[in-house]
Amino acid sequence: MGFEEMFVPGTEAGRDGVRAVLAAPGDAVIGLDFDGTLAPIVADPGQARAHPGVVGALRRLGSVVGAVVVVTGRPAGVAVEYGGFAGVPGVVVLGHYGAERWEGGELSAPEVHPGVARVRGVLPGVLERLGAPEGTWVEDKGRSVAVHTRRAAAPEEALELLRAPVGELAAEYGLVVEPGRLVLELRPPGVDKGAALTGFLRERGARAVLYAGDDLGDVAAFAAVEKLRGEGVAGVLVCAGAVGDAPVRELADRADLVVAGPEGVVELLGALGEALTAR
């Protein structure tokens, strides 16, 4: 059974995107989120690692498509380490929503937004005053700061308790809040996965893109692909996750194709690589 029979997008735009990638892979870019898409979600982000099949699938794809770009909120170097991407041909990592770039073993990044350092110093005290539930913790990402509630006894309730005041704190320091799965990330404005993906596609002169994501941070990338379709760039939108999972619903509604988390993404990438290299 061929790729087109195994993975059939539910929209005509998605089917057009698949045909474009298969017809001219050298003009196509494969865009991928990291956490929840290439790596299973875990309680401790520091323990996240790419699914065992990811590197093999990307190595095969990287030899035939225009590029594989991983677009993540993590620092680029961390994503490279946790994903095992060093030495995989054709893979570029855009970290911190595009503020950092890793390519060919080289990392480039601008200065850190001053608001990040300031909010880093006051955030623990603010959370204490708010009565943040036990299990709430802060992750320092260097160019952003994230408040996690996954370890709290009632994580969804904890997130809602903190959502508004954390948003106000971010605004005070010139930052914005990027919501995700039981996390509120305070980061500089004007940087998102949509802008990062759009800039990369234009840089490469891509005529087609397949983008896979699983969380609210990927909505901007989905919107970018939808916009680019109107400019003649064929696109396939893939939602990686269970449709009933609340953070995934918006992506699932907009996706051309839904697969079962990182395992489903690896299966898709593997089948695509096989189809492209069997020619």
CA angle 195, 254, 40 (to 5 degrees): 75
Q: Can you give the pLDDT at residue 108?
A: 93
> Do the beta carbons of residue 262 and residue 37 sit within 8 Å?
yes
* pLDDT digit string, tens, across residues 81-122: 999 999 899 999 999 999 899 999 999 988 889 999 999 999
Nearest to 29 by CA among 236, 258, 262: 236
Q: Can you give the pLDDT at residue 1?
A: 67
Q: Can you give the pLDDT at residue 4?
A: 83
Q: Can you give the pLDDT at residue 14?
A: 97
Distance (Å, whole) CA 178 – CA 162? 13
Q: Can you give the pLDDT at residue 242?
A: 59
* pLDDT digit string, tens, across residues 240-257: 985 556 556 788 899 999
Distance (Å, whole) CA 170 – CA 177? 7
Pairing label, strands 28-32, 208-213: parallel
**Amino acid letter, residue 158:** A
Q: Can you give the pLDDT at residue 37?
A: 96
Q: Can you give the pLDDT at residue 19?
A: 97
Q: Can you give the pLDDT at residue 190?
A: 81
Q: Can you give the pLDDT at residue 246?
A: 54
- Give the chain's residues under pLDDT 70: 1, 242-248
Site of tokens 């004007």: 190
Q: Can you give the pLDDT at residue 3?
A: 87
Distance (Å, whole) CA 76 – CA 34? 11
